[in-house]
Amino acid sequence: MAKQLYYEDVEVGSEITPLKKIATTRMLVQYAGASGDFNPLHYEEDFAKSLGVGKPIVHGLLKRAWLVNLMTDWIGEKGGLKKLSCRYRGMDYPRKMKTFDEPHDGDTWWCKGKVTKKFVQGDENLVECEIWVENDKGEKNTTGSALTALPSKAK
Amino acid sequence: MAAFVVTDSLKQLIGQKEKPVVLKIEEGAIQRYARAVGDSNPLFSDVEYAAQSKWGRVMAPPGFTGWPIASGFDMFKLFERLAKAGAPMGLLDGGVEYDFLAPIGDGDILVMEIKIAGIEGRETKMGPTMVTTIESTFTNQRGAVALITRNTFLNF
């Protein structure tokens, strides 16, 4: 595991360690099975077209899971994620598969974030963050916020 | 273009509660989910590592619980009811908000209570759009509310 982050380590404006992700058609099928979200919007071309999104799109919930991954990796096991929210503002499209397990070239996404506020409430050291998923073109199609509690070096 | 107009038959659905669903959280499902979302945190997948942790068991990544993971609750049945009451056929996930109130992991048994918290009419880039908020509350076997989720769906 990554080293533990402490309340004293962060300031307003501090960057969350970015997390790189790709999505492939295979991963969307895997996510559908693991999550139970079998909406054909995520695997059937004609259905996706009929909804006006062009072709199958990445599950919003998968991008949300990436943002959770971003936060839990950053705050470490002694940190606690208290709130997280995100909105899906645009479509993202998966890479298609070249072989069983190797995708074609395509989009890469970066999950990023920064600290917007830090404060003590009761006995908790709280840190608020702005978080987002950004594509190669720098478009933020998924944006949100998170509230976490971090351990203090003082304790 | 204009905002979607929420009809009376749709307004009647606001506040409506679904039949509660019991969810048993188990490590196999957590492991499959963690692999599928590409989260390599051993706390969510490595049984031995998790057993040595302060929780002593495989924990669910935040967001594992809640629609659509909640087996036994078919959100699409709810969408069908909204469609019958006049919701436009196009459907997209608009976003989600979580309040994580207690840890959730292998062995927990949660009762999920679901209600339609709100239906609003708006204008979006998809055209006139109906925005539905569905709120779910998850209470664990110790009687504590472990999680509240608010999912937003767009019909256009």
Give tens-digit pLDDT for A143-155.
Answer: 999 999 999 998 6
Q: Report the b/e string of B74-112 with b at 16+ CB within 10 A.
A: ebeebbeebeebbbbebbbbbbbbbbbbebbbbebebeb
Q: What is the mean pLDDT of residues B34-51?
A: 97
For B53, residues 6+ apart whose C-beta sits below 8 A from its C-beta are: A77, B43, B59
User: What is the rounded CA–CA span in Å between residue B78 and residue B84?
Assistant: 10
Which B residues in the span 126-145 are in contact with A, Cβ-Cβ below 8 Å? 126
pLDDT of residue B70: 62
The domain locations on chain A are 7-150
Confidence band of B98 (pLDDT split at 50, 70, 90): very high
Instruction: Indicate the fold that domain A7-150 takes in CATH.
Output: Thiol Ester Dehydrase; Chain A (3.10.129)
Inform me whether the pLDDT recorded for A1 exceeds 80: no
User: What is the rounded CA–CA span in Å between residue A31 and residue A48?
Assistant: 17
User: What is the rounded CA–CA span in Å between residue A139 and residue A146?
Assistant: 20
Q: What is the mean pLDDT of residues A55-70?
A: 96
Inform me whether the pLDDT recorded for B77 exceeds 90: no
pLDDT of residue A134: 97
Q: What ipTM was predicted for this assembly?
A: 0.95
How would you class A6 by CB atoms within 10 Å of its CB: exposed for 0-12, middle for 13-18, buried for 19 or more? middle
Domains located in chain B, CATH noted: 8-155 (3.10.129.10)
> Is residue B80 within 8 angstroms of chain A, CB to CB?
no
Could you report the per-residue pLDDT of B99-149, keeping only the tens digit for each?
999 999 999 999 999 999 999 999 988 899 999 999 999 999 999 999 999
Inform me whether the pLDDT recorded for B5 exceeds 60: yes
% pLDDT > 90, chain A: 92
List chain B residues with CB under 8 Å of A85. 95-98
For B50, residues 6+ apart whose C-beta sits below 8 A from its C-beta are: B42, B43, B44, B56, B57, B58, B59, B105, B106
pLDDT of residue B68: 73
Q: What is the mean pLDDT of residues A98-115?
A: 96
Q: How far is CA B78 from CA A92, A105, B95, in A?
A: 26, 38, 17
List chain A residues with CB under 8 Å of B152. 87
Inform me whether the pLDDT recorded for B84 exceeds 90: yes
pLDDT of residue B2: 85
User: What is the rounded CA–CA span in Å between residue A2 and residue B31?
Assistant: 20
Backbone φ and ψ for A36, nearest 5 degrees, come out as 85, 10
The distance of A85 to chain B (nearest Cα, Å) reads 4
Q: What is the mean pLDDT of residues A126-134?
A: 98
The distance of A47 to chain B (nearest Cα, Å) reads 11
Inform me whether the pLDDT recorded for B83 exceeds 80: yes
